[in-house]
Structure 1
């Protein structure tokens, strides 16, 4: 199947109803935009842009799929240039054009191409935003190099929700667990070191690497409350294990405080999440 055929297929299968909603794959393109622009992920992304590029006016949106981010940024007043290699009206540039026309947006330009092939002039954009696309790069270094080349000096590079793997075995686990890879075979992932090196080689300085549990941007659609509940369950389970091993002393608050300090205890282990997502905030040198 192609990517477009995959999305058309899962829209009709009740097994994937939640995925279609949470991944913004609904046939109703306007509904996808509405859901995305009200999401905690987008709210936090806007906060990052306002914090690190408060005077930004232009955004290059790379690998923007059906246009949820392009249209949402444009509705916020940014001049947005969308680059998407898929021309379809289902999950590609054609869908962005439909949304641009529907919302009568004059501040959106659409280009059908791969990031490695963009030919915009150097130093063109205030922000380059890449959502769930860097891990699909045919050539990671070339992909990132082009993104940074077209950034203005001190411009902001935001790469959002990219799959991270530890090694080949971990990658195989991720690909097997991915709900759509079996249909179209297009998923991929790199190590955090490979992402960081590509950004450094491209000429940008990483301000922050957001690991999976560092931000709602990565673990959305889960909420902070759901993550807190997971933490409490893990802590309760660990306390029970310790108490069983050493007795009631394991329930003493001072012991547990010392345990967490000495062990550098984190109840949530991102390595239990196949293809956990990272995001990168970087500034062009």
Structure 2
């Protein structure tokens, strides 16, 4: 029989998805990597990476996909920004070889600002983090600040119609329809270049097999 999660369990799932912590956080990172790899791959593909580019990922999880990203072009520099010390430690462990080579680095952030230079990145992407942004307009301004002129942002998020049916998203998630995200991007001075809509079968965070519709919105600086 399917386990019915208590309100406390659902709140904990939501919290760990927003900021994984401790042993539970490590397991959450593994689970997120497995369930999000389709979305992550789509976002990476949307960046159309070229040799010698600097790439920032906001909310990188355990970084199990970084080797895949680095194989897309030569001499890429990858930077990861996350609000979880637990998840950064896991990502460093998984990507130790790349850290040693100097083409990957991770930075702890506060979810409001990005501690990087102006115009540092050619490409920025983020998958399933927008739900947790406390100040979306301010954060997009930060992203724009760190992007080079004509730089590209790939913003990947699940459709509101899917997210609102998950039992834990009423605890700390802000859900978005496509038009709302478009308006946020345009208000921050981005130009929408392209949008990819996809549907996939995944195992949900509570263990059920579900169909997820998601969007990859590509915008230029």
Given the two structures, how large is their TM-score scaled by the length of structure 1? 0.57
Alignment-derived partner of residue 200 in structure 2: 220
Residue 200 and residue 40 in structure 1: after superposition, are their counterparts in 2 closer, same or farther (change >3 A)? Answer: closer
| Contact 1:63 1:83 survives alignment (8 Å) | yes
Q: Comparing both structures, which one devotes a greater share of its residues to strand?
A: 2
TM-score with structure 2 setting the length: 0.71
Partner of residue 98 from structure 1, selected from 68, 84, 93: 93
Q: Which has the higher helix share?
A: 1
Pair 1:154 & 2:150 matched: yes
How has the CA–CA distance of structure 1 residues 81 and 5 changed in structure 2, closer, same or farther, with 3 Å as cutoff? closer
Q: How many angstroms apart in 2 are the aligned matches of 1:209 and 1:57?
A: 22
Q: Which residue of 1 aligns with 2:185?
A: 199
Aligned position for 2:33? 24
* Cα deviation code 1:211-257 (max 9, x no counterpart): xxx33xxx2357xxxxxxxxxxxxxxxxxxxxxxxxxxxxxxxxxxx
Query: Does structure 2 conserve the Cα–Cα contact (< 8 Å) formed by 1:128 and 1:151?
Result: yes
Shift of 1:95: 0.9
Higher relative contact order (CA 8 A, sep 6+): 2
Cα 1:113–1:10 change in 2 (3 A) is closer
In structure 2, stretches of 5+ residues that fail to align are 1-11, 203-209
Residue 8 in 1 paired to residue 24 in 2? yes
Q: How many residues are treated as equivalent by the alignment?
A: 194
> Which of these residues, 76, 79, 85, is aligned with residue 77 of structure 2?
79
Structure 1 pair 174/221, CA: closer, same or farther in 2 (3 Å)?
closer
Q: Which structure has the greater CA radius of gyration?
A: 1
Residues in 2 aligned to 1:283 and 1:9: alpha-carbon distance in whole angstroms:
33
Change (3 A) 1:220 1:49: same
Q: Deviations over 1:163-199 (max 9, x none)?
A: 343xxxx6xx844x325548xx343312322211111
Q: Does structure 2 conserve the Cα–Cα contact (< 8 Å) formed by 1:62 and 1:115?
A: no
Is the 2:159–2:214 contact (alpha carbons within 8 Å) kept by the matching residues of 1? yes
Partner SS, residue 206 of structure 1 = strand
Cα RMSD for the two superposed structures = 3.5
Q: Of 5, 24, 46, which residue of structure 2 is paired with 1:48?
A: 46
Segments of 5+ residues of structure 1 without an aligned counterpart are 13-19, 26-31, 223-272
Q: Answer whether contact 2:200 2:213 (CA < 8 A) is retained.
A: no
Structure 2 SS opposite 1:24:
helix
1:220 match: secondary structure: strand
